[in-house]
Amino acid sequence: MLKLILTDLDGTFLNSQGAYNRDYFLKLWPKLKEKQIAFGVCTGKSSARVEALFPEISDEIWILADSATRIKYQGKCIYEQLLDNQLALAMIARLQAIHSNQIIIAYTKKAVYIDQNIPKIHKNRVLASYPGAIEINDLQQITDDFIKVTVYDPASRCLETVKQLADFMERAYIVASETQWIDIAAKGVHKGSTVAKLQELLKISPKETAAFGDGWNDLELFAQANFRFAMKNAVEELKNQANFIIPSNDEDGVLQTIELLLSLMEKKEGSTGEN
């Protein structure tokens, strides 16, 4: 029986404009609650950004945010794993040496930091996603441990950049979620490990879990779910691991599938009741 639904956001639940069909989702929400199906978002976005996307029910969904380095529920952080300060700074220095024109976003428990010297056009994009980001002259000044480090490369070189971080991979989790984005977190911390922690908390097994995704960083998410749905716009590697390929993120693919799953559950319950 289905007890947990988890979805990625960008390229999956959200359309190309970064939005979703709110009326459609809110129509399905009471049915999810009625069937006691937990709903969670597993994303690289900050928890504050996720809460802003779901204003009506932000306290009722499980938020696995900041590249799944933390779990937040009802406004409280109930789980997190941090990246050692010195290790993170060493990787930032390497990234800066590889390409001087890629954007590094540094997350700590206190704040999100960006380099004040990045081009305005790219700075505006980052600030649109992280409006509270603090601009500093040198990221090496950060003294706290990190939640994660994110790289945005408008030149789409992230797959090659990750290869140049190979010597750090035994000490940190490094993944290019797509060609323009890299996420770096503590070793062993990724969507799959954090979902496993959530499943442990909720006493829900992978056999009772459905997952939706589109990118390379959703492979670990799929490993924790028996029902795996890849978007039509997903990368081929993820499609190969999916049970089903569903309509794209611009076609309400996730919502269509949730509605279908609920309908199938109702039919099964009705059939059982008749017997």
Nearest alpha-carbon partner for 246 in 202, 203, 210: 210
Q: What is the DSSP string of 245-262?
A: EE--GGGTHHHHHHHHHH
Domain 4-80+190-274, CATH class in plain words: alpha beta
pTM of model > 0.85: no
Chain CA centroid to CA 117, Å: 28
Task: Give the architecture (CATH level 2) of 85-186.
Answer: 2-Layer Sandwich (3.30)
Nearest-angstrom CA–CA distance, 86 and 48: 26
Per-residue pLDDT of the chain (275 residues; tens, 9 = 90+): 999 999 999 999 999 999 999 999 999 999 999 999 999 999 988 888 899 999 999 999 999 998 899 999 999 999 999 999 999 999 999 999 999 889 999 999 999 999 998 888 888 878 877 778 999 999 999 999 999 999 999 999 999 999 999 999 999 999 997 899 999 999 989 999 999 999 999 999 999 999 999 999 999 999 999 999 999 999 999 999 999 999 999 999 999 999 999 999 998 887 766 44
CB–CB of 132/91 below 8 Å?
no
The residues near 19 (Cβ < 8 Å, ≥ 6 apart) are none
Is the distance from CB of 208 to CB of 184 less than 8 angstroms? no
User: Is the four-CA dihedral 252, 253, 258, 264 of positive or negative sign?
Assistant: positive
Residue 52 tokens read as 């802003």
- Locate the domains of the chain by residue range: 4-80+190-274, 85-186
* d(C-alpha 118, C-alpha 134), whole Å: 13
Going by the DSSP 8-state scheme, the letter that residue 220 receives in this structure is H
d(CA 192, CA 172): 15
Integer Cα distance of 178 and 161 in angstroms: 12
Domains 4-80+190-274 and 85-186 share a fold: no
